[in-house]
Amino acid sequence: MKIGITCYPTYGGSGAVATELGLALAERGHEVHFVTYAQPFRLVGLHELVFYHEVEMEDYPLFEYPPYSLALAVALHDAARREELDVLHMHYAIPHAAAAYLAKQMLAAERDIKIVTTLHGTDITLVGLHPSFRAITRFSILQSDGLSAVSQFLKEETVRHFSVPPHRIEVIPNFVDIDVWRRDREPCHRSKLAPEGEKIVMHVSNFRAVKRVQDVVEVFAKIRAKVRARLVLVGEGPERPRALERAAELGLGDDVRFLGRHASVEELLACADLFLLPSASESFGLAALEAMACGAPVVASRAGGIPEVVEDGVSGYLLPVGAVDAMAEAGIRILSDDAHRTQLSAQARQVAVERFSASAIVPRYEALYERVLADK
C-alpha cells in the first residue's frame, strides 16, 4: 500500500506513535509518505520506502492567523496525486482530519482516496470540545472512512462527547519497538545520572499542566527523604519553571537533574528504577509504556486510559490523581525492596512485549487500511 501520514512532528506522543507506525509499515513493505510542517522528530536516518513532504506555507501580512489547514490540504492533495497514495492516515483529529477531508474532495473528480483518523487524546477530551472546534471535529471524524482510538477510554469519550456510533471506532493501542526500548542497552548512563549509586526516578513529558509535574517533584521529595535517589526530568514545556522552582523550595538541589529534550529517551529510560506519571488525564500514556518496555516499574495516576496500560500491582502501582503521599509510599516500596522491584521490572517488560509490541499492533492498522480500501 501507499500511505500518507500526517501528525504533529514536534515533541509529543501522537507524533512519536505516527512516526514509529510509518517506519514499521515501511519495514513491512509499504510506501510511506509523511506530510508534515517539519520533519517528525523520530524520523532520523535514511529509510527505504519512507519519504517526507514538507507543508509549505506562504506568509502574507494580511494573515494574522496563517491558514495552515488549507496549506496542509493542498500538500495532502499534491502528495496523493503525485505519489498515487491509497490512504491518508491522520493522527490527532484537529485540524488534520478536516484537511484530509478537503484533500479527498479536491481529488474526488479523479478518484476516491480513503481517510483513516487516529484519535489520540486532547483532540477529543479538551481541544475538540471547545465551541470553536467542536462541530468541525465531529464532522471530520464522521467523514473519515476509518477511525481508531488509542484506548477504550478514549473511544468511550468520543462516543459520549461527539455521538459517534461505537461500531465506527476501533481501539488500537499504542505500541513500542521492543528491540529499541529495552533495559540491556549500551551505552548505559547510570553512572552519569547517579554517580553515587543513587536510585534513579524518572519522568518524561511535554511538561504541560495536565502532566502535574509539580506532583512528580513532591512525590520525589518524599521518596528522597527515605531512599538515596535522584530525579531525572526529561522533556520541555510550560510547567518546567514552576517544577524547578518547587524543587528549589524543597531543597532538592542537585538531586533533581533537568535534561530538557533528549534525542534518545530510550537510553535514559534503560537506567530508570522508577517512572512517575501522575497526570490529571491521559488517554493512553505512551511514556509509561516506553518505561515499561525498558523494565522500569511505573507509579501513575488511575486516570483515563492509563489502567489499560499499567496494571496495578503487576507493572507498577496506580493511585488517585493528586495522591502524592500514596504515590511516594509506593515509590519507596519499589526502590527499597530489590526483589520486588526486579519482579515488577520483569513483569512490566513482559506486558510491553506481549500486549504492546509493534508486531502485535501494526498488523491491526494494516487490517484497518485493507478494510477501508475494500469499502467501495
Q: How many CA atoms lie within 13 A of 314 on its CB side?
A: 12
Cell of 305: 486510559
Q: What is the DSSP letter of 209?
A: G
Q: How far is the CB of 197 from ligand GMT (least distance, A)?
A: 32
Give the integer Cα–Cα distance in Å for 90 and 96. Answer: 6
State which amino acid sits at residue 310: V
Find the shortest distance in angstroms from Cβ 17 to ligand GMT: 5
Q: Which stretch binds ligand GMT (CB under 6 A): 11-19, 97-105, 343-351, 368-376?
A: 11-19
Site for ligand GMT contains 122 (CB under 6 A) = yes
Record the cell numbers describing residue 74, joined without a space: 493542498
Burial of 323 (0-12, 13-18, 19+ CB in 10 A): middle
For 149-177, letters b (16+ CB in 10 Å) and e give bbbebbbebbbeebebeeeebbbbbbbbb
Stretch that binds ligand GMT, among 39-47, 73-81, 115-123, 162-170 (CB under 6 A): 115-123
- The whole-angstrom separation of Cα 76 and Cα 97 is 11
Of 9, 40, 95, 121, the one binding ligand GMT (CB under 6 A) is 121
Please, what is the minimum distance in Å from the beta carbon of residue 305 to ligand GMT? Answer: 7
Using the rule CB under 6 A, give the single segment among 21-29, 256-264, 275-283, 315-323 that binds ligand GMT: 275-283
Site residue total, ligand GMT (CB under 6 A) = 18
Q: Is 282 in the site for ligand GMT (CB under 6 A)?
A: yes
| CA 54 to chain centroid | 22
Q: Does 369 bind ligand GMT (CB under 6 A)?
A: no
**Binder to ligand GMT among 98, 176, 210, 271 (CB under 6 A)?**
210
Q: Which residue, judged by CB position, is nearest to ligand GMT in the bound state?
A: 121
Contacts of 203 (CB under 8 A, 6+ apart): 211, 213, 216, 231, 232, 233, 234, 235, 275, 276, 277
**Is 17 among the residues that bind ligand GMT (CB under 6 A)?**
yes
Instruction: Mark residues 217-256: x for contact with ligand GMT by CB under 6 A, - for none.
Output: ----------------------------------------
What sign results for the dihedral spanned by CA atoms 202, 204, 205, 210? negative
Residue from 117, 283, 301, 345 that binds ligand GMT (CB under 6 A)?
283
Residue with Cβ nearer ligand GMT (202 or 332): 202
| Contacting residue, 99, 243, 286, 344, with ligand GMT by CB under 6 A | 286
Q: Which stretch binds ligand GMT (CB under 6 A): 120-128, 184-192, 334-342, 347-355?
A: 120-128
Q: Does 120 bind ligand GMT (CB under 6 A)?
A: yes
Encoded one letter per residue, x for contact with ligand GMT by CB under 6 A and - for no contact, window 161-180 reads: -------------x------
CB of 258 to ligand GMT, least distance (A): 20
Buried b (16+ CB within 10 A) or exposed e, 18-39: bbbbbbbbbeeebbbbbbbbee
40 is an interface residue for ligand GMT by CB under 6 A: no
CA 155 to CA 157: how far, in whole Å? Answer: 5
Q: Which is nearer to ligand GMT, 8 or 317 (CB)?
A: 8
User: Which string of x and - marks every residue 142-161 that binds ligand GMT (by CB under 6 A)?
Assistant: --------x-----------
SS3 (DSSP) at 53: strand
DSSP string, 100-125: HHHHHHHHTTT---EEEEEE-SHHHH
User: Is 22 a residue that touches ligand GMT (CB under 6 A)?
Assistant: no
Among 4, 8, 181, 271, binds ligand GMT (CB under 6 A): 8
For the chain, what is the radius of gyration of the CA atoms?
21
Backbone angles phi, psi at 298, to 5 degrees: -115, 135
Please report whether residue 205 would count as binding ligand GMT according to CB under 6 A: no
**Contact flag: residue 137 with ligand GMT (CB under 6 A):** no
| Interface residue list for ligand GMT (CB under 6 A) | 8, 12-15, 17, 120-122, 150, 174, 210, 281-286
